[in-house]
Amino acid sequence: MHPILNIAVKAARRAASVINRASLQLDLVTVQSKAPNDFVTEVDRAAEAAIIEVLRDTYPDHAILAEESGRSGESEYCWIIDPLDGTTNFIHGFPQYAISIALAKNGSVEHGVVFDPVRNELFTASRGAGAFLNDRRIRVSRCTRLADSLIGTGFPFRSDDDLEAYIGAFRELTQKTSGLRRPGAAALDLAWVACGRIDGFWEAGLQIWDMAAGALLIQEAGGLVTDFDGDSGHLDSGRVVAAPPKLFAQLLPIVQKHMRAR
C-alpha cells in the first residue's frame, strides 16, 4: 500500500472510532439541519476533526476540502473528505454509511479510501495500482446485460431537485433491470460497484466528497465513471453514471434520456 494511502486509512479508522462510539448512544446525538432533509451531527464534525488531525500531522502543507469545515490551505495536493456519508441513515440507526477520503494532485484524484465502520470493510485504491477490499483485489461485476443487472441510485432529497426526471429514469430501469436499490450513502454505493455487489449506479446532486474516492475505486476496478453527458466532469457536475464497460453502454443512454437536459 502506498504510504499516502496508509495515512488516509489511519485517518479513516480514527474517524470510525468516533462514529462507532456514537452509534451506541444515538439518542444522545445532537442533530442540526443544514437545509431541508440535509442533516449534520456533532458526530460528523468530530469525525472530520479526527481525520484532519491525522492528515495534518503528516502532511501539514496539504490543502483540505471537507464537507463540514470547507476548504483550507493552498497546495497542489488536496485532501477531499466526507467524514460520514449517509448521515440520515446514521441518525436513524440504519447501518449504511461510510467515511470517504481522497487525495487529489493538481485536480486528479490519486488515492482513495472508503471505510464502512459497520462491516469493518476497507476499500482502497491508488491510481494505476488497482482497487482493494480489505487487501483483496476487487473488480467490477461481469454482468453484461442490463436485464440481468442490479442498479443502485439515490433519489433527490432537496426541494430544487427534479423528482419527475428521476421517476422517469427509475420507471424505465425498473422495467429493464433485475432490480434497483437506493441505500442512501453514495460513497458506499460506488464502492459496491467497484467490488461487484451492484452492477451500476447513477445519481445527481452529489458533491465532490461523495464521489472522489468511490469513483477512483471503480476506475481502478475496471469500470467506467462519467457525468450524464458521458464526459469526465462528474466531480464538478455532481452527476454520475458508473458501471462495467458493456453495461455502461446500456445504462448511460437511459439516464441521459431522462436526466441530461435537467
Q: Taking the alpha carbons of 48, 204, 170, 33 in that order, is the dihedral positive or negative?
A: positive
Q: Taking the alpha carbons of 126, 129, 130, 135 in that order, is the dihedral positive or negative?
A: negative
Whether residue 8 contacts residue 111, with contact meaning beta carbons closer than 8 Å, is answered with: yes
84 is in an annotated binding site: yes
82 is in an annotated binding site: yes
227 is in an annotated binding site: no
210 is in an annotated binding site: yes
Residues making up the annotated binding site for Mg(2+) are 67, 82, 84-85, 210
Residues making up the annotated binding site are 67, 82, 84-85, 210
